[in-house]
Amino acid sequence: MSKQTGFTLIEMLVALLIMGLLIGLVSVIAQPDDKALLRVEAERLAQLLELAATESRITGKPIAWTSDGSDYRFWRFAENPGWSEIANDDFLRARSLPQGMKISNMRTENLRSPAPMRVEFDSYSGAPSFSVEISIGASRYTVENSPIGAVRVFTETTETSDERI
């Protein structure tokens, strides 16, 4: 009597089905949804804007932020050659937003700002109060700089549950 070793075809198919289900489940869990990704980008933008304002005050050199809606950049002013893009800084480098995400509806001192969006951080007067909206699909967050220089992220539903960044 010979004893057979190995797996049957049914056992192999069941094992492959279980592995496929586990891989699919892990990939769905590991990938954040659009709203979570939007929140992360809004918080990152708020932190970078606050960093730019702080760096401007410390160094005494004006820094500007610009956006065309799908990406944003930081600029530093020097006597010669004037405004130049900050390229060699890990934090204030140019950034592109994920697919479908955009920055819009900039308001400076409560007035709608023309495109392209621009905010200047001056070492003496700080930055004006401003807000920009960052959105993907129907989800929206507002990144706002108060008159005292605090940058906050507000959800699209209520501005009473703000989170200080």
Q: What is the 3-state secondary structure (H, E, C) of the chain?
A: CCCCCCCCHHHHHHHHHHHHHHHHHHHHHHCCCHHHHHHHHHHHHHHHHHHHHHHHHHHCCCEEEEECCCEEEEEEEECCCEEEECCCCCCCCCEECCCCEEEEEEEECCEECCCCEEEEEECCCECCCEEEEEEECCEEEEEEECCCCCEEEEECCCCCCCEEC
Domain 34-164: CATH class, spelled out: alpha beta
User: What pLDDT, on the 0 to 100 scale, is given for residue 43?
Assistant: 94
User: What pLDDT, on the 0 to 100 scale, is given for residue 113?
Assistant: 74
d(CA 45, CA 48): 5
Q: To which residue do tokens 């920055």 refer?
A: 103
Q: To which residue do tokens 């592109």 refer?
A: 96
Q: To which residue do tokens 């697919």 refer?
A: 99
Q: What is the mean pLDDT of the chain?
A: 84
d(CA 33, CA 21): 20
User: What pLDDT, on the 0 to 100 scale, is given for residue 148?
Assistant: 76
Residues ≥6 apart with Cβ < 8 Å to 135: 38, 101, 102, 104, 141, 156
**Stretch 23-38: mean pLDDT:** 79
Per-domain residue ranges for the chain? 34-164
- CA dihedral (81, 44, 90, 122) in degrees, to 10, reads 30
pLDDT tens profile 135-161: 998 899 999 988 777 888 998 654 444
Model confidence at 76: pLDDT above 60: yes
**Stretch 99-115: mean pLDDT:** 85
User: What pLDDT, on the 0 to 100 scale, is given for residue 79?
Assistant: 81
